[in-house]
Amino acid sequence: MIEALPILHHDDHLIAVHKPAGMLVHRSALARGERHFLLQTLRDQIGQRVYPVHRLDRPTSGLMVFALDPEVAGRLADAFATQRVAKRYLAVVRGQGPEAERLDYALRDEDGRRPKAEMPAREARTEVRRLDSVELPVRVDRYPSARYSLMEARPLTGRRHQIRRHLSRRGYPIIGDAKHGKGVHNRFFAEQLDCPRLLLAAVGLDFEHPVDGRRLTLGCALDAPMTALFHRFGWSAHLPDNRRGISPSAPATTSP
């Protein structure tokens, strides 16, 4: 039996939940053999249809918001597409990540239908900031110790796998990333630190409610494996929590 999804916000128009790592949002070509999907699980849980307005990769955990009718879905999807939604992620990366930097590397689309070299390269920007780091006295790769960093990532565009690809290109791949990371570090975290997953979590969304215009600020706690890792590394002060903040409607403006 599937556990109930943690609901972080629910009103007449929107619902936000914590997506588990490893769960696909909906059926796709990648879904062969899969039986459980976020859309269906949430629909069955609340007894009504839900409409996706953005995406999270299968291995990424964290905050996802859905609309409860097609009209609201269109408005909110447009807000995501035009970068009117502020998104915050936490990632554990290999190495001593940059203190603060804007990563501005164009990325080619990845749709699985054509070779990536044939796809157009589109602008992609991500702001990253190192929140903390740790040095472990163990030889994981060729050095006698291993460094890892806790990075905050705020994507300013919405390309597929953007945060994973940007951090990897900068030289700080996310732990658990089988495609863009390094296997020896991924195995170390899986076998020695009980973290056999991509260490990337969506922890915050901030946007204007598509119906009443109020500012909605949502936060999402980490799952158990990432929470335990933060305690182990001394990063407890950076643990996010489930929160829901609603600001009053912005005053109407008039043209001069």
Question: What is the DSSP secondary-structure string of 149-181?
Answer: EEEEEEESS--TTHHHHHHHHHT-PBTT-TTTS
Those residues whose C-beta lies under 8 Å from the C-beta of residue 204, and which sit 6 or more positions away, are 63, 86, 87, 88, 217, 218, 219, 220, 240
Cα angle for residues 152, 158, 159 (degrees, 5° grid): 105
**Which tokens hold the place of 240?**
């996010």
**Which of 57, 109, 111, 206 does the annotation list as catalytic?**
57
**Amino acid at site 209:** H
What's the CA gap between 62 and 39, in Å, rounded?
15
Residue 132: active-site member:
no
What's the CA gap between 209 and 159, in Å, rounded?
23
- The residues carrying an active-site annotation are 57
